Structure 1
Amino acid sequence: MTMIMGALNPIAIQLGGLAIHWYGVIIASGVLLAVYLATKEASRRQVNEDHIMNLILWSLPFALIGARLYYVAFKWPYYAAHPSEIIAIWHGGIAIYGALIAASIVFIIYARVQWLSIWLVMDIVAPTVMIAQAIGRWGNFMNQEAYGAVTSLAFLKGIHLPGWVIQQMLINGSYRQPTFLYESAWNVAGFILIMTVRHHEHWFKQGEIFLSYVMWYSFGRFFVEGMRTDSLYALPGLRVSQVVSIILFVAALGTWIYRRRQSVPWYLEGNLMKYAN
């Protein structure tokens, strides 16, 4: 007999009028893990850990702002009518591509000021961002968002999901495709793959781990986005994230091919400009 449960409570802790949402807790957990992993790898590549901490402190607020502005921009008719909702990120509604664009700008500026190789810094951080994204998608799960088309209970049981995940996919009276889970699993697989091979000698030149992340993520995101029913649209029938995914994949592949032919340091050589530390 299958036990019928209600949807999970999106609020983790309620302290009077202050509500701490699982969405924020889960995203913060992903960020903390990413910071820990990035600082450990930075020391191996002769990059002062302080640089990673500074980058995180500078990029996080801008990434959050970028993610929200990106989402709001493509949902402007709604937010124009409900301006008080623009800052209500605890209700969901942040776009990872907006966060990545904003954070990348911060990284580039910081690396130039500190005389660090932006490619090396991106290589160090990229796989940790991937696992943070994988964890963060479970915040969408708690908010019952980032889901796909209507499906059947039999299908969800058939892919061997636990009951509590299946029940959370019961949204507005219908079971939904757990596209949040598909993207999370894709990112976990990419994280494991990159972390397994990145220390092989003469496999990666500086910049290629970051470019691998971009290609892996954009490839998977293109297909997952096509399954979602809550996508952002630039025009009717034109999903923003699919367009961005194609552009990023092609740009990353082209950059990889170009840089592979250039005299570029290997990733394992680390920070050749140690005086910048």
Structure 2
Amino acid sequence: MNPVAFEVFGLEIRWYGIIISMGVLAAMLLIYILAKKKDLNYDTIIDAFLITFPISIVGARLYYVAFEYQNYNSFMDVINIRNGGMAIHGGVIAALISGYIFGKYRKVNFLKYVDVIMPGVILAQGIGRWGNFMNQEAHGGPVSQQFISKFPEFIQQGMLIKGTYYHPTFLYESIWDILVCIILVYILLRKKKSKDGVVLAGYMILYSVGRFFIEGLRTDSLMFMGLRTAQIVSLLGIILGIILIVWINKANKDTI
């Protein structure tokens, strides 16, 4: 499988970047539709995106490098993302922090806006995982030919690496992310008005549950003190999501 889509003046344009871009465009379209339905200012979301998206890229890279620092020998190695090395947890954390600061500066309801944004975020993640497929990365451990034969032919070929078939964990997470996206949209648009922050909490819990189990199958996990970093962060995400729901319910009761 060739990770390079085409070349422009000798510069390789990789499928990974193309697919990530498609994910971002799909996310912004979904967010536009949801913002209209919730009567929120889409221009404000665009302004936030122009600030938080570059910060999320930096966060995703620094998060990854922090746990793989022994493999980087120079500053140029650190900033060269063309060879991979991005962690979605770092990107989401950086985006949420910068988005919260942006909301404070603009004096807008952060939770109300982030609830509209998070379904788009998880949709972009689900699409972006196909970039991992094109790079033949983020896969699980070896599997038998009988097991992989249950998947479409192109998945079988993509997961055949140096004569061995591997778990298509990118596919598991992509499917899970899209299911979570559908659930979050339902929560946001259901007839009974959802409380501000519930969609964010739902994202934290649902994405983290899926990522925890899928991460256990992967062979390229970032590690911290012998534990899989993504699983640790996923557990923290579940706990924080539950705490957020409790806080939201308490805050709403106090205002009744």
Where on the TM-score scale, by shorter chain, does this alignment land: which range? Answer: over 0.9
C-alpha distance 97-257 of structure 1, shift in aligned 2 (>3 A) = same
Identify the residue that residue 270 of structure 1 maps to in structure 2.
none
C-alpha distance 263-197 of structure 1, shift in aligned 2 (>3 A) = closer
RMSD (Å) for aligned C-alpha atoms: 1.6
Task: Decide which moves more: 256-265 or 161-170.
Answer: 256-265
Task: Decide which moves more: 167-176 or 211-220.
Answer: 167-176
After TM superposition, the structure 1 = structure 2 runs for residues 66-85 of structure 1, keeping only pairs within 5 Å, are 66-80=59-73, 83-85=75-77
Matched to 2:195, the amino acid is K
Contact kept, 8 Å, 1:205 with 1:264, in 2: the verdict is no
Contact kept, 8 Å, 2:122 with 2:178, in 1: the verdict is yes
Give the Cα–Cα distance (whole angstroms) in 1 for the partners of residues 193 and 216 of structure 2.
33
After TM superposition, the structure 1 = structure 2 runs for residues 51-62 of structure 1, keeping only pairs within 5 Å, are 51-62=44-55
Unaligned runs of 5+ in 2: none
Identify the residue that residue 268 of structure 1 maps to in structure 2.
none
Of 15, 23, 30, the residue aligned with 2:23 is 30
Give the Cα–Cα distance (whole angstroms) in 1 for the partners of residues 77 and 155 of structure 2.
28
Matched to 1:41, the amino acid is L
Give the Cα–Cα distance (whole angstroms) in 1 for the partners of residues 54 and 45 of structure 2.
15
C-alpha distance 107-83 of structure 1, shift in aligned 2 (>3 A) = closer
Identify the residue that residue 37 of structure 2 maps to in structure 1.
44
Cα distance, 1:203 vs structure 2: 5.3
Q: Deviations over 1:236-275 (max 9, x none)?
A: 2x0111000001101111210221122279xxxxxxxxxx
Q: Is the helix fraction higher in 1 or 2?
A: 2
Matched to 1:13, the amino acid is F
Contact kept, 8 Å, 2:197 with 2:244, in 1: the verdict is no
TM-score (norm 1): 0.88
Give the Cα–Cα distance (whole angstroms) in 2 for the partners of residues 148 and 67 of structure 1.
21
Cα distance, 1:87 vs structure 2: 2.1
Higher relative contact order (CA 8 A, sep 6+): 1
Cα distance, 1:213 vs structure 2: 0.9
Contact kept, 8 Å, 1:91 with 1:143, in 2: the verdict is no
Q: Deviations over 1:177-217 (max 9, x none)?
A: 01111110101111122223421233521100111011010
Runs of 4+ in 1 over 6 A off after TM superposition: none
After TM superposition, the structure 1 = structure 2 runs for residues 109-120 of structure 1, keeping only pairs within 5 Å, are 109-120=101-112
Tell whether 2:11 aligns with 1:21: no
Of 59, 64, 70, the residue aligned with 2:57 is 64
Instruction: Tell me the number of residue pairs that the alignment of Structure 1 and Structure 2 aligns.
Output: 254
Work out the percentage of aligned pairs sharing the same amino acid: 40
Contact kept, 8 Å, 1:206 with 1:264, in 2: the verdict is no
Give the Cα–Cα distance (whole angstroms) in 1 for the partners of residues 230 and 203 of structure 2.
16
Unaligned runs of 5+ in 1: 1-7, 266-277
